């Protein structure tokens, strides 16, 4: 049974794709209806990349807020540099898309679950979205579904972003509209925590939304995977904020400037530490140990 286009419109808005496509300019222009689907898919890819970046900006500042707009929006601005200055979002995107040991087949299955999600009840759409011609919504929907069902064209960072945005609009339906591209980035810190409560729970409505598109045997492992993913996202956000990744020169095998994490923690204030006298050689002159 084909879902009503109005439901798909709401769902696309909830995961942030419709708003990002509008912000992207000509992707939803009237001429788009005449475009070949492959062309729309190609044009949608950079839009989803920007949506993922915006969503992850809102995520990393949970672990390490700073003087940026995302920290201010969630209600926890700080004078000290934070995740944005540490380029933690770049670290997250690189990790999710290239290094995270997340099964490809499950990423594809999760994408299919998102493609089938229809729950849009109780969400009031802004006029710019509600007034879009249905043919343009259908074109965008078809392009996104094509990408979600082909894991070769959908980076994991984009899938994670859409999942966070879907949960964000369950926590606060008003997040479907506002500053930033991403509904998740529009949330307060407390509401963001509620999103992770849903993922770690996970919220039965969220599972029901995703579960409809999951093939066997992934239906029985969805809950556990969402719990793992929720924890990993926060852990990676903290790690990306405090490590040396953004200032490390792999060719010279050294850092090019003082990392944000070192500044925040006061680590190695006088340069590289070569060791403490107390820890050089054998402790207290001992050279053997006997029971």
From 72, 55, 78, 74, select the one nearest 260 (Cα to Cα).
Answer: 78
From 154, 152, 185, 143, select the one nearest 53 (Cα to Cα).
Answer: 185
Q: Greater confidence, 181 or 287?
A: 181
The band of 31, judged by pLDDT with boundaries at 50, 70 and 90, is: very low
Output the average pLDDT for the chain. 80
CA angle 47–51–53, rounded 5-degree value: 115
From 187, 178, 179, 225, select the one nearest 206 (Cα to Cα).
Answer: 225
Among 7-21, 42-56, 148-162, 169-183, whose mean pLDDT is lowest?
148-162
Instruction: Give residue-wise pLDDT tens across range 217-268.
Output: 665 566 667 777 888 899 999 999 999 999 999 999 989 999 999 999 888 6
CB 214 within 8 A of CB 148: no
DSSP-derived secondary structure letter, 248: E
Pick the most confident of 22-26, 38-42, 72-76, 113-117: 72-76
Among 31-35, 233-237, 272-276, whose mean pLDDT is lowest?
31-35
Q: What is the pLDDT of residue 272?
A: 65
- 255 bridge partner residues: 248
**Two tokens at 149?**
């069902």
Q: What is the pLDDT of residue 34?
A: 47
Q: What is the pLDDT of residue 123?
A: 74
Q: What is the pLDDT of residue 126?
A: 79
Average of pLDDT values for 206-224?
61
Per-residue pLDDT for 5 more than 60?
Answer: no
Between CA 169 and CA 215 the distance in angstroms is 25
CB 70 within 8 A of CB 61: yes
Hunting for tokens 């672990």 — which residue is that? 63
Pick the most confident of 6-20, 86-100, 223-237: 86-100
Q: What is the pLDDT of residue 27?
A: 64
Average of pLDDT values for 259-283?
74
Q: What is the pLDDT of residue 150?
A: 66
- Angle between helix 222-242 and helix 156-171 axes, rounded to 10 deg: 100
DSSP 3-39: PPHHHHHHHHHHTTHHHHHHHTSGGGSGGGGGS-HHH
Please return the burial class of 131, using the count of CB atoms within 10 Å of its CB with bins 0-12, 13-18 and 19+: exposed
- Tell me the torsion sign for CA atoms 156, 198, 241, 178: positive
Per-residue pLDDT for 212 more than 60?
Answer: no
Among 83-87, 160-164, 221-225, 244-248, whose mean pLDDT is lowest?
221-225
From 20, 237, 219, 231, select the one nearest 110 (Cα to Cα).
Answer: 219
Between CA 4 and CA 60 the distance in angstroms is 35
Q: Greater confidence, 288 or 90?
A: 90
Q: Greater confidence, 134 or 275?
A: 134
Per-residue pLDDT for 1 more than 60?
Answer: no
CB 71 within 8 A of CB 77: yes
CB 162 within 8 A of CB 56: no
Per-residue pLDDT for 121 more than 60?
Answer: no
From 21, 22, 94, select the one nearest 56 (Cα to Cα).
Answer: 94
Structural domain spans, the chain: 5-249
Q: Greater confidence, 97 or 273?
A: 97
Among 90-99, 152-161, 217-226, 232-241, whose mean pLDDT is lowest?
217-226
Q: What is the pLDDT of residue 113?
A: 62
Query: Which secondary-structure segment (H or E) carries 191?
Result: helix 189-200
């Amino acid at each position: 049974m084909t879902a009503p286009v109005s439901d798909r419109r709401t769902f696309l808005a909830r995961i942030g794709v419709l708003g990002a496509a509008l912000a992207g300019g000509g992707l939803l222009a009237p001429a788009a209806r005449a475009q070949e689907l492959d062309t729309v898919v190609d044009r949608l890819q950079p839009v989803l990349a920007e949506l993922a970046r915006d969503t992850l900006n809102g995520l990393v500042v949970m672990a390490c807020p700073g003087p940026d707009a995302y920290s201010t929006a969630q209600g926890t601005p700080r004078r000290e540099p934070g995740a944005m200055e540490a380029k933690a979002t770049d670290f997250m995107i690189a990790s999710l898309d290239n290094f995270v040991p997340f099964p490809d087949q499950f990423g594809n299955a999760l994408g299919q679950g998102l493609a089938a999600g229809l729950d849009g009840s109780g969400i009031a759409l802004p006029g710019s979205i509600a007034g879009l011609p249905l043919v343009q919504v259908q074109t965008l929907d078809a392009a996104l579904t094509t990408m979600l069902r082909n894991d070769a064209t959908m980076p994991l960072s984009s899938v994670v972003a859409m999942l966070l945005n879907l949960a964000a609009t369950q926590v606060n339906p008003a997040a479907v509209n506002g500053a930033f591209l991403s509904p998740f980035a529009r949330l307060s810190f407390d509401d963001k925590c509620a999103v992770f409560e849903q993922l770690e729970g996970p919220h039965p409505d969220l599972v029901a939304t995703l579960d409809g598109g999951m093939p066997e045997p992934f239906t029985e492992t969805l809950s556990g995977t969402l719990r793992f993913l929720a924890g990993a996202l926060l852990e990676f956000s903290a790690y990306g904020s405090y490590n040396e990744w953004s200032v490390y020169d792999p060719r010279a095998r050294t850092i090019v400037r003082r990392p944000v994490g070192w500044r925040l923690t006061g680590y190695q204030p006088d340069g590289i530490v070569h060791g403490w006298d107390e820890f050089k050689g054998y402790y207290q002159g001992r050279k053997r140990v006997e029971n």
